[in-house]
Structure 1
Amino acid sequence: MKFKMRLKLLALVCGIDVCLGMVLVYMVREREAAHVAANSGALPWEEGGILDRAKGLEGKCVALTFDDGPHKDCTPRLLDGLKQRGVHATFFLMGQSIEGNEEIVKRMKEEGHLIGNHSYSHVQLTKAGAGAACDGVDKTSSLIENITEERPQYMRPPFGDWNEELECEVGMTTVLWSVDSLDWKLRNKNRIVKRVLKDVEDGDIILMHDIFPSSVEAALELVDALTKEGYTFVTVDELLID
């Protein structure tokens, strides 16, 4: 049977309480499937057989997600555009980017966006070791909680670098992606938009970064284009299994 080009939503359940119900979303190409299955505990998947929707979602839905912020210039411009369009997104914040940008984080919360954890710095957590990885995640969660009065429940590891040991240690819902905009590499609004529109489907989680002007421009153009195609924008928690 033909496998899909990307994995949409993969539920992993650990055998201890802190890992029950943990959900992992991971983008893979067909040629990488064997590697992912061997190294991340991924289960086999068949076309059209694995994506579950949260109750109450109707029509075509996608989630815009942004990593590495907040950025003092780019993130406010993005928030302005999302507010004008009535769209909520998910922001995975990096701890070292929060200092000096607390008001931006507060604004994200006030305007209804979902705030997640992207660890403290952009390092590969599996190479850092469980202790250091958990310290970075916990430090970032505390920074976010001090600003929003709410501890984040969702995290995205830098580079998507993760394993079952860290899942169980951290005890948070881990969210990766199903469409990679490659905005960090392309740095061109039109190329980013073209890439995402080519791949996007109902239920996708789109990976972007709110630290480049071209990414902000592309994200807002994508919102306009996908809205015309009948898509609704939701936060990642609304796409996860209910």
Structure 2
Amino acid sequence: MRYQWRRQQQSGWTLLLLFALIGAIALAWYGQTSPSVTADAPLAGEEGLEEPEQKLIALTFDDGPRRSTTTELLDGLAQRGVKATFFLIGAQVEANRDVVRRMDREGHQIGIHTYDHVKLTDLSKTDFDAQVEKTRAELVATLDHNDFLLRPPYGMLDDSVKAWAGCPIILWSIDPEDWSDQNADRVVQEVVSQARDGGIILMHDIFPESVDAALRIVDALHAQGYYFCTIEELFDARGIPLEAGQSYWNAYP
């Protein structure tokens, strides 16, 4: 009887070992065929995994429109799907209304750069209105809307300019002084080297060299992952409200 019990006990242990061996083989096979997941790493779509934020930059142009160069620039921007902001001289609007309407139709933003490109500081209200409000009237007559920004010539401000502007005042963070020597290579190098997310680039669309440089800048910064947008789009994306009489140099995150 004792011998028979021992035989039964040995048989039981043999079965247990057999089951354990089968289980270990199955577990090893599953580990090789199933994907490995790190517990601490969030999965796509889970909270904590964020897409990288788009790098934004605004390209702005002063002193236009000039039919020859501005039209060439608009052609190049359209080919690249780029939107810019143009600060216009009021005295040049009447002869170029079709160019201004094209800017607006193609999604570019439009602003005021005075009527005769004069300093706005220390002006009387009458003289200020002759430069800013007269230009505004020209643009309203051309485009039938009134949501224009102001860029004072030379970036010069005083309390009166802020009080009378009637709209946001836009300055800049990158100025290659493209007017100074009209050297496209130098302008491209300076702008690309200074480019930063949330920056505002100042250029002029009245020189052929500046048009060439601007399009090369777009290509170079596109290759670096930048997206070009209007001033309004830039500040909307950063959640920064643009307020009348306030001045803005950039929209750095």
For normalisation by structure 1, the TM-score amounts to 0.74
Q: 1:112 aligns with which of 102, 107, 112?
A: 107
Contact persistence 1:186–1:192 (CA under 8 A) = no
Match of 2:4 in 1: none
Q: 1:207 aligns with which of 202, 227, 235?
A: 202
In percent, how many aligned pairs have the same letter? 47
List structure 1 segments (4+ residues) > 2 angstroms apart after TM superposition. Answer: 127-131
Q: How far apart, CA to CA, are the structure 1 residues paired with 2:72 and 2:112?
A: 21
Q: Which has the higher helix share?
A: 2
Shift of 1:171: 1.6
Higher RCO by CA contacts (8 Å cutoff, separation 6 or greater): 1
Unaligned runs of 5+ in 2: 1-51, 242-253
Q: How far apart, CA to CA, are the structure 2 residues paired with 1:186 and 1:229?
A: 27
Contact persistence 1:144–1:152 (CA under 8 A) = no
Shift of 1:169: 1.5
Secondary structure of the residue that 2:121 maps to in structure 1? helix
Contact persistence 1:92–1:156 (CA under 8 A) = yes
Q: How far apart, CA to CA, are the structure 1 residues paired with 2:185 and 2:135?
A: 33
Secondary structure of the residue that 1:126 maps to in structure 2? coil
Q: How far apart, CA to CA, are the structure 1 residues paired with 2:232 and 2:109?
A: 8
Match of 1:217 in 2: 212
Match of 1:193 in 2: 188
Aligned positions, number: 186
Shift of 1:156: 0.2
Q: How far apart, CA to CA, are the structure 2 residues paired with 1:114 and 1:167?
A: 21
Contact persistence 2:150–2:165 (CA under 8 A) = no
Secondary structure of the residue that 2:118 maps to in structure 1? coil
Q: Does 1:77 pair with 2:72?
A: yes
Secondary structure of the residue that 1:201 maps to in structure 2? coil
Q: Does 1:136 pair with 2:134?
A: no
1:149-178 residue CA offsets vs partner (Å, 9 max, x unmatched) = 111331100111111222112221000000
Q: How far apart, CA to CA, are the structure 2 residues paired with 1:153 and 1:226?
A: 27
Q: How far apart, CA to CA, are the structure 2 residues paired with 1:204 and 1:173?
A: 17
Alignment root-mean-square deviation, CA: 1.4
Shift of 1:207: 0.1
Contact persistence 1:117–1:152 (CA under 8 A) = no
Q: How far apart, CA to CA, are the structure 1 residues paired with 2:233 and 2:178?
A: 24
Q: 2:151 aligns with which of 137, 150, 156?
A: 156
Q: Does 1:124 pair with 2:114?
A: no
The residue correspondences of 1:151-190 to structure 2 (distance < 5 A) are: 151-190=146-185
AA at the equivalent of 1:133: F
Q: How far apart, CA to CA, are the structure 2 residues paired with 1:128 and 1:168?
A: 12
AA at the equivalent of 1:234: C
Q: How far apart, CA to CA, are the structure 2 residues paired with 1:152 and 1:143?
A: 13
Segment of structure 1 superposing worse, 182-191 or 213-222: 182-191
Q: 1:90 aligns with which of 57, 80, 85?
A: 85
Q: How far apart, CA to CA, are the structure 1 residues paired with 2:138 and 2:125?
A: 20
AA at the equivalent of 1:157: P
Q: How far apart, CA to CA, are the structure 2 residues paired with 1:108 and 1:153?
A: 13
Segment of structure 1 superposing worse, 131-140 or 213-222: 131-140
For normalisation by structure 2, the TM-score amounts to 0.71
Shift of 1:186: 2.5
Q: Does 1:100 pair with 2:88?
A: no
Unaligned runs of 5+ in 1: 1-56
Secondary structure of the residue that 2:95 maps to in structure 1? coil
